[in-house]
Chains A and B, each alone.
Chain A
Amino acid sequence: MSAVEYEPVIGLEIHIQLATATKMFCGCALSFGEPPNTHTCPVCLGLPGSLPVANARAVHFGLVIGLALGSELAPRSIFHRKNYFYPDLPKGYQISQYDLPLCRGGRLGEVRIHRVHLEEDAAKLVHVGASGRIHGSDASVVDFNRGGTPLAEIVTEPDLRSAEAAGEWLRLLRTTMRVLGVSDVNMEEGSLRCDANISLRPAGSEELGVKTELKNMNSFRFIERGIRAELARQEAILQAGERVQQETLHFDPASERITSLRSKEEAHDYRYFPEPDLVPVAIDAAMLSAARAALPELPAARAERFERELGLSADSAHLLAFRAELGDYFEAALCAAVDPAPPAQALANWISGDLLARLTGGETVTDAGDMGGGGGGDPLSSRVEPQALAVLVGLVAAKRVSVGAGRQVLDRLVAEGGDPAAIVAAEGLAAIDGGDELSAIVAEALAAHPEAAANVRAGNAKAIGPIVGHVMRATKGRADGGEVTRLVHTQLGV
């Protein structure tokens, strides 16, 4: 009997911490690793009598996200209370949105968006182990610094069909949010968090299977691994003729194990009702035009423009557009107005190739998903000024500096920064043109490698290697490879 083929059906729920100055419902400044409970007030501590007031900028960011995703913006949306008890939830309810969210529908890439709503983040629970002051068992300490941070929750339709596709799409979402400037979207710091709803159905079926919810995976790698592990677990259950239980699960990346988060007796009953302490959010023309004005060019449009207006290859255009920091650097370099001007494609190649390899210690460009964004992968925070790279690529393109010498200059720029023209002059790295000096060195190389010279003369083009190598050594790489080959051929009479 052959096994049934199953198709994965995956939807994502993403929580994004918004980059406002203050919390969602109070004036506390957002916290970035300050000592516990130093960013609190009566509102975000849930003190008796305190009341929430919604942050205008968080609403603005919500609208910007909605516009970017092509969502329908609710002219009037309301906040609800989601009631449950947990020590990280000071009021015993989370203020969130329920049946009237800020944004509905939309699409990003191939994935449809179900809704986008605003809510407040929970506080942080730090496990402290056994404590003498808590009877019997383990204790935790609650830090309310994070509590009340504004969140946008983005819920997709179940349009993803593999773990890899989910990871890929999440990268696109992250870039989009970064370009929008609404969030730091840093998974390690928790400003982007992702839950996945996962189910399997017989291939070709239109019905949805029983889904499980995989909670709070905190890196792109874990998300893909977690989804893969859960798909495998569900498939094993189904192939054994059993049923998948609807439940909330946790993936432990260390052990690759999936465990149930909540016991079954804990029924979910959030008793949503309209938050009576807040009034509806109504979108007026001013808010809408402010959100439209804040809307930057999105990755897909940018890639299209790079191709159309700058003549970049599709791959280069996509790479630079979807890694916003590379695209920004590229455009800054292109605008630097240097003479000779670097061709756009050459500049793109230098950025995605030599420069990035030096900044990331050799990591390949397309697998940049797990990087936080700052640090190694971002050329704007390196010592290489966009203008400097533009000068260098311009010189190489004009053959005033050889490719090899250009790489040496780049090494210096990455290490110390500075002006490429000055480095070229100081180090004597200017290209040797096709004049007498290079002719003499080529002659010397032919003399030093008689065997290779004979092979080349006999028609073996590949035999030229040792001769060119000799010239490059002698010129410290300043010679242009093409010119050297031409001179070898001339002198050998080929």
Chain B
Amino acid sequence: MSAAAIVELSAASAVQELAAGRLSAAELFDAYRARAAADELNCFTWVAEGPPAAESGGALRGVPLAVKDLFCTAGVPSQSGSRILEGYRPPYTATVVARLAAAGAPLLGKTNQDEFAMGSSNENSAFGPVLNPWDRARVPGGSSGGSAAAVAAGLAPWALGTDTGGSIRQPAALCGIVGLKPTYGAVSRYGMIAFASSLDQAGPLTRDVTDAALLLRHMVGRDECDATSLGHPEEIALPSAESLSGVRFGVPEELTGEGIDPGVLDAFRGALARARELGAEILDVRLPHATHGLSAYYVLAPAEASSNLARFDGVRYGLRADGAEDLLELYTRTRHDGFGAEVRRRIMLGTYALSAGYYDAYYGRAQRVRTKIVGDFDAAFAEVDFILTPTSPTVAFPLGERTGDPWSMYISDFCTVPMSLAGIPAISIPCGLAGDGAGAQLPVGLQLAGPVFSENRLLDAAFALERALGFDGSRVRGGGSA
């Protein structure tokens, strides 16, 4: 099979070709390794020399996997996009990566990301921004921007990302691929370099919904090393639904009106029309507190992050500033030099929100808003099966456009943050192209969210819609490498 033909295979098709003997694992790995090594989009921070010496069996045998930098991989750089962890090679491997390796997926490379997963454009990486394969002058989204761009550009068959407030779904939307944030707790967080512990969740970034289901099937599971992990009550099935008959979709006005670009709204409405054609019922629902999601999120996530990132102190690993006169200076200079501007800003914000005199006004209130948002979703899911929104208020925006004003960047996650706060699963699938007024045609993402542990139904609905929408991302698949 030619390299070009190999790259056109979805991961699930590659599994079948391998099983049928029409493709060898070495051919498959080499095809992707060559493309990843020639990456022009800055998707990768490290690329494997070759497949692991000991080939393991398993259902995913031989399909290479790109892994976001923040997953610890033993002996392999795991830097979370940060200068403070430059060159850091952990002595252990994250549970989810180990599970996938045991299922047979060899590590292809580590992907670029916003530093400590803080960002929506991948411009916060210490290793440079990732370029969007649809338009290299634009961002791929973030924080899992390297994973999203690599999959979209055909530099990897699929990839692992993490989502705290939209970090899988938003880059998937901006790169025209599928990204799934599972129910909080479905996938172990052990070995994921933490951003915000109560929100972080690993998930797949894939070319299509079937691949997302296949990868997720081998990711979920209770892990005794993660007290907050739950596993999944059902085995994740490969989706097969063709009709949406009897399915009730709820459209919340709070997340589908003000603040959403007209082009994005057009594509979104087009997707609703398709859903109706497939037999779905479209209903209005209310999420009265969803518009406060961002505010709550930008208290809770930085607060947890300020604590999670306290361990980077220049003592046991990572960067240490030279020539410090005393311990205090060693701490403050190491952390000043090692963290980028956005990470420093969020550490400051989170420290402030937790500090004496401010806890109740910020952290305490944000936790109560979170309760309200959880309640909003509970009420909505009593009326409808799924909630539909655009994934991102805009299409991919030009590099540098939002770096001057933090809040202008933060609102990229306006539609995705409420689901993160509620811990519910949500998937983004491409639903068309839209212009941004400058003429460029760029992918738009459609977000489907369901109640906790509804992944199987969610994947089925997404699969049916995906077929009806017929989005074609093949145009950019050749575009990632020379």
Contact = CB atoms under 8 A, between A and B. Distances in A.
Nearest to B85: A48
Interface stretch (A49-57, A223-231, A472-480): A49-57
A481 interface: no
Contacts of B72: 47-49
B227 A279 contact: yes
B316 A90 contact: yes
A271 interface: yes
Interface residues of A, number: 31
Interface stretch (A81-89, A343-351, A408-416, A436-444): A81-89
B197 A47 contact: no
Contacts of A45: 316
B32 interface: no
A83 B307 contact: yes
Contacts of A136: 325-326
Contact of A51 (B88, B226, B316, B359): B226
Given A42-B91, A49-B94, A277 B355 contact: no
Contact of B227 (A50, A54, A272): A54
Interface in B45-94: 70-72, 78, 80, 85, 88, 90-92, 94
B216 to A, nearest CB: 20
B363 to A, nearest CB: 6
Interface in A58-95: 81, 83, 85, 87, 90-93
A273 B356 CA distance: 11
Contacts of A272: 354
Report which residue of B88, B192, B194, B307 has the largest number of chain A beta carbons within 10 angstroms of its beta carbon: B307
A92 B227 contact: no
B366 to A, nearest CB: 11
A99 to B, nearest CB: 12
Given A85-B331, A273-B363, A49 B190 contact: yes
A51 B227 contact: yes
A130 to B, nearest CB: 13
Nearest to A269: B356
A49 B193 contact: yes
Interface string A240-284: 000000000000000000000000000001011100111100000
Interface string A12-48: 0000000000000000000000000000001001111
B90 A42 contact: yes
Contacts of A277: 194, 197, 226-228
A46 B323 contact: no
A47 B355 contact: no
B327 interface: yes
A52 B227 contact: yes
B313 A48 contact: no
Interface in B338-397: 351, 354-356, 359, 363
B440 interface: no
A53 B326 contact: no
Contacts of B322: 135
Contact of A137 (B307, B309, B317, B325): B325
A47 B325 contact: no
Given A85-B310, A271-B307, A271-B355, A48 B78 contact: yes
B94 to A, nearest CB: 6
Nearest to A277: B197
Contact of A93 (B80, B307, B355): B307
Nearest to A139: B327
B353 to A, nearest CB: 9
A278 B310 contact: no
A47 B92 contact: yes
B219 to A, nearest CB: 16
Interface string B313-337: 1011100001111110001000000
B137 interface: no
B64 to A, nearest CB: 22
A142 interface: yes
B203 interface: no
Contacts of B331: 85
A42 B247 CA distance: 46
B311 A46 contact: yes
Contact of A92 (B225, B226, B228, B313): B313
A341 B304 CA distance: 68
B78 A51 contact: no
Contacts of B242: none
Contacts of B197: 276-277
Given A91-B310, A92-B307, A46 B316 contact: yes
Contacts of B291: none
A47 B227 contact: no
Contacts of A51: 189-190, 225-228
B302 to A, nearest CB: 12
A143 to B, nearest CB: 12
Given A47-B90, A87-B315, A135 B323 contact: yes
A91 B315 CA distance: 11
Given A273-B303, A276-B198, A53 B311 contact: no
Contacts of B94: 49
A91 B194 contact: no
A25 B412 CA distance: 37
A91 B313 CA distance: 9
A142 B313 CA distance: 13
A87 B193 contact: no
Nearest to A40: B316
Given A85-B310, A135-B324, A276 B304 contact: yes
B325 A92 contact: no
A36 to B, nearest CB: 13
Contact of A48 (B193, B326, B355): B193
A267 to B, nearest CB: 8
B90 A48 contact: yes
A192 to B, nearest CB: 28
Nearest to B226: A51
Interface string B212-250: 000000000000111110000000000000000000000
Nearest to A136: B325
B190 A93 contact: no
Nearest to B116: A48
A85 B327 CA distance: 10
B418 interface: no
Nearest to A268: B356
B101 to A, nearest CB: 16
B479 interface: no
Contacts of A91: 310-311
A277 B223 CA distance: 13
Nearest to B200: A276
Interface in A168-209: none
A271 B351 contact: yes
Contacts of A271: 306-307, 351, 354-356, 359
B145 interface: no
A135 B326 CA distance: 8
Interface in B127-154: none
A53 B310 contact: no
Contacts of A85: 310, 313, 331
A137 B92 CA distance: 35
Contacts of A93: 307, 310
A273 B354 contact: yes
B434 to A, nearest CB: 37
A67 B26 CA distance: 63
A142 B91 CA distance: 19
A137 B228 CA distance: 43
A278 B190 CA distance: 12
B1 to A, nearest CB: 37
Contacts of B316: 45-47, 90
Given A45-B316, A83-B310, A87-B327, A278 B78 contact: no
Given A47-B317, A54-B227, A83-B354, 5 more contacts: A49-B71, A83-B310, A135-B324, A273-B363, A279-B227
Interface of A: 42, 45-54, 81, 83, 85, 87, 90-93, 135-137, 142, 269, 271-273, 276-279
8 contacts: A47-B91, A48-B312, A49-B72, A49-B192, A49-B193, A51-B190, A276-B304, A278-B227
